Structure 1
Amino acid sequence: MAKEAVILTHYNNEDFLSKWLALELAPTIFGSKPSTILSIVNTKSRPLLTLWRQYGPELLNGSSISFFILKETPDRLAILFYRRDMLEQCIYEPNNKEFLLSHGYPIDKGLDETLVYLKSKFTKTCPHDFGILLGIPLKDVLGFMGLSDQPLCCSGCWHIYGNPECSLAIMKRFDDDRYKAASWIEGGWEPYRVLSYREEKPEAMVS
């Protein structure tokens, strides 16, 4: 059984929400992924939406993670969690910037305006060009949108087009980060310490 499944055994309180966020956001917390989108709903076993509305924003106080609500209904939230430094670096990367500008994103007006524009596009489904902000390689976004002649090679967290080496390495980093967060929590770290992680070595944070 995966470590993530082992530690998410109690789901009726703030502690559960902080554990869930720490695991889901680990690649962004640790710097492998500029942003992560989460769809937050209540289910019979996991009242995540209720817990988020009670505790969520407060749990991110002191964290490097910001959040932006892309869509809200009475029973669901779609939230983009991101590290501002990394997401700005992502959208200003020359090839990414050129692509995003060509799809209407107001990159030159800054990250905040870019997110507002993204929200306007985020209606029934995620716009495919949004994958860039999630750290998906441009070649794979172009391939998925039918804007490239590179063949579909394989699939994992997303469809991979052309040479898979770089994309598979990125996927592995995402998985490794989640496993690391789960290991730290299983080893005794409070989830809020993972959420507030800021590049320090683990040993330096042990009291």
Structure 2
Amino acid sequence: MDLDYILINYCSPTLAGLKQASLLCLPHLDDSCTYDGVIEKYNHKYNAKGLYFRIVYACPKRTLLYVYRPARVWTYVQQRDISSFLQQFGYQDCQDISALLDRLAARFAEGGCFPHESGIFLGYPLEDVCGFIANKGSHAKLCGEWKVYGDAHTAARTFHRYTCCRQDYLNRFAIGTTLESLIVA
């Protein structure tokens, strides 16, 4: 498995600094293998560029890898309305990004499925996360990178930027540009 290619294909907007985070669902490896060593190497190599990697959930079928820019995530979740929303799900005692992600990982482990608030950690608008919850994933105005219940016009522009970024990164990677040089510091 070429994790560099997977990161470029699914996380380009995060690598480029357009998006605060991405979540990858990686397949289960052989029983004797885990992603821990690879993730440690990626963190060692790319944390200096402001990009971090954390496994937030693992089970026999899959591993969920959170690829994120801690400062951006922390700034977003500190907004009053976002913080208030997250408190409903037990995030009130999170004093730093590590505690916040510990709680997110616990939420994944509690239900074995995506917690309702996970869209916040990916930078989705609160209106869309709340709309998704209220409508149980139905009746969205627009579906793309996420389901949109609020400002469809702004979301469509964002989706277009992400698509262009992804294509640009894939093209550049195909001609030999390294993952490291594609990560914007």
Structure-1-length-normalised TM-score: 0.73
Provide the rounded CA distance (Å) in 2 between the counterparts of 1:120 and 1:108: 13
Partner of 1:185: 173
Closer, same or farther: CA 115–189 of 1 in aligned 2, 3 Å: same
Partner of 1:33: 19
Partner of 1:80: 66
1:62 correspondence with 2:45: yes
RMSD, aligned CA: 2.6
Provide the rounded CA distance (Å) in 1 between the counterparts of 2:165 and 2:52: 18
For residue 35 of structure 1, what is the amino acid of its counterpart? A
Describe the superposition over 1:11-64 as per-residue Cα deviations: whole angstroms up to 9, x where unpaired: 5xxxx3222223322111111221111111158xxx9x9594564432443322
Partner of 1:153: 141
Aligned residue runs from structure 1 range 15-164, under 5 A: 16-42=2-28, 52=35, 55-63=38-46, 64-106=50-92, 109-123=95-109, 124-146=112-134, 152-164=140-152
Describe the superposition over 1:87-106 as per-residue Cα deviations: whole angstroms up to 9, x where unpaired: 11111123212211233213
Q: Percent identity?
A: 22
Closer, same or farther: CA 25–61 of 1 in aligned 2, 3 Å: farther
Aligned length: 176
Structure 2: stretches of 5+ with no match in the other structure: none
Structure 1: stretches of 5+ with no match in the other structure: 1-10, 199-207
Provide the rounded CA distance (Å) in 2 between the counterparts of 1:109 and 1:55: 28
For residue 137 of structure 1, what is the amino acid of its counterpart? P
Contact map agreement 2:28 2:60 (CA 8 A) in 1: no
Q: 1:136, CA displacement in angstroms?
A: 1.1
Contact map agreement 2:42 2:53 (CA 8 A) in 1: no
Provide the rounded CA distance (Å) in 2 between the counterparts of 1:188 and 1:71: 32
Q: Match of 1:128, SS?
A: coil
